[in-house]
Chains A and B, each alone.
Chain A
């Protein structure tokens, strides 16, 4: 029974990990996977790949890949902090690059949504190879909750044309 429960939990966890990025074509295109999840926290990784190189002389991965990994992990951490699934939108993301990634090594990342308000989620992230205490980059980001598909256009049409059909 305990084994069954553990197996069921593992299966649910696996499904959740897949659900976080399976529908994100850009994450799949760079080989991103979810390593682990916890309430408000996500661990993601991108395996080293020659197509992600930003400096052909050194083989160092492009900063943009680190941005993508931190952005995606931060968004996942917010989803994992929310009581129910809702649309979120990144407001801003600041990334500090501490050192270049080592060529040939996989990129790991941990993001933690440490504060939720009614409208905003606050997230910290760190990218590393093996040890989060030896970071390649760190990030801070804010996310808008219940982001409403950014459908501003109908509102503007209302303003320009009035609310009633002509």
Chain B
């Protein structure tokens, strides 16, 4: 993506909101980014189309998974400026509580960064930071060999 390679080449801080606003699917999910210094919190703004179980009601597990994956990618794009979009290799999502129909927040931590692959942990919560609704860990390819 141009915005990634531009920030990389010029050594500039990546505008994270502008970055994810270029991705149609994260726009559809309605994900916002709040960066305070090096601390990044993503926000999944609640809207009806995120519901997976209307009788509870609860957010769709897939939407939560997608939000966690996006949070990991944003953290990687910010911390590891390679100019490329990181690609997921695998992700394991633990569903801890049902996601209520309100805004959801998430933060990611890079556990290990290698030359080609990074291990990332992500946690999502709603009102209470210490009662996560889901957590995930996954591996991401930083510079896919087939794309140079």
Please list the residues of chain A having a beta carbon within 8 angstroms of any beta carbon in chain B.
Answer: 23-27, 29, 50-57, 61-65, 67-72, 75, 89-97, 100, 149-150, 152
Chain B, interface SS category = mixed
The 3 closest A-B pairs by CB, nearest first: A64-B66, A68-B62, A26-B60
> Contacts A64-B66, A71-B60, A71-B61 hold; do A150 and B98 have CB atoms under 8 A apart?
yes
Task: Please tell me if B102 contacts chain A, counting CB pairs below 8 Å.
Answer: no
Which residues of B sit under 8 angstroms from A63, Cβ to Cβ?
66, 69, 88, 91
A67, B66: Cβ atoms under 8 Å? Answer: yes
A-B contact pairs, 5 of them (CB 8 A): A25-B52, A51-B27, A52-B28, A69-B62, A152-B97
| Minimum Cβ distance to chain A for residue B117 (Å) | 13
In Å, the complex CA distance between A71 and B61 comes to: 7
B52, A27: Cβ atoms under 8 Å? Answer: yes
Please list the residues of chain B having a beta carbon within 8 angstroms of any beta carbon in chain A.
Answer: 1-2, 22-29, 48-56, 58-63, 65-67, 69-70, 85, 87-95, 97-98
A93, B93: Cβ atoms under 8 Å? Answer: yes
Chain A, interface SS category = mixed
B25, A64: Cβ atoms under 8 Å? Answer: yes
Which residues of B sit under 8 angstroms from A97, Cβ to Cβ?
87-90
| Minimum Cβ distance to chain A for residue B29 (Å) | 7
In Å, the complex CA distance between A90 and B54 comes to: 16
In Å, the complex CA distance between A151 and B93 comes to: 21
In Å, the complex CA distance between A97 and B91 comes to: 8
B91, A95: Cβ atoms under 8 Å? Answer: yes
In Å, the complex CA distance between A56 and B1 comes to: 7
* Closest A residue, CB atoms, query B3: A56
Which residues of B sit under 8 angstroms from A55, Cβ to Cβ?
1, 23, 85
A26, B98: Cβ atoms under 8 Å? Answer: no
Which residues of A sit under 8 angstroms from B52, Cβ to Cβ?
24-27, 72
A96, B89: Cβ atoms under 8 Å? Answer: yes
Which residues of A sit under 8 angstroms from B58, Cβ to Cβ?
150
| Minimum Cβ distance to chain A for residue B102 (Å) | 15
* Closest B residue, CB atoms, query A50: B24
Which residues of A sit under 8 angstroms from B23, Cβ to Cβ?
53-56, 62
> Contacts A94-B90, A150-B97 hold; do A64 and B70 have CB atoms under 8 A apart?
yes
In Å, the complex CA distance between A39 and B48 comes to: 31
A68, B66: Cβ atoms under 8 Å? Answer: yes
In Å, the complex CA distance between A6 and B147 comes to: 52
A92, B92: Cβ atoms under 8 Å? Answer: yes
A67, B85: Cβ atoms under 8 Å? Answer: no
| Minimum Cβ distance to chain B for residue A92 (Å) | 5
Which residues of A sit under 8 angstroms from B22, Cβ to Cβ?
56
B49, A26: Cβ atoms under 8 Å? Answer: yes
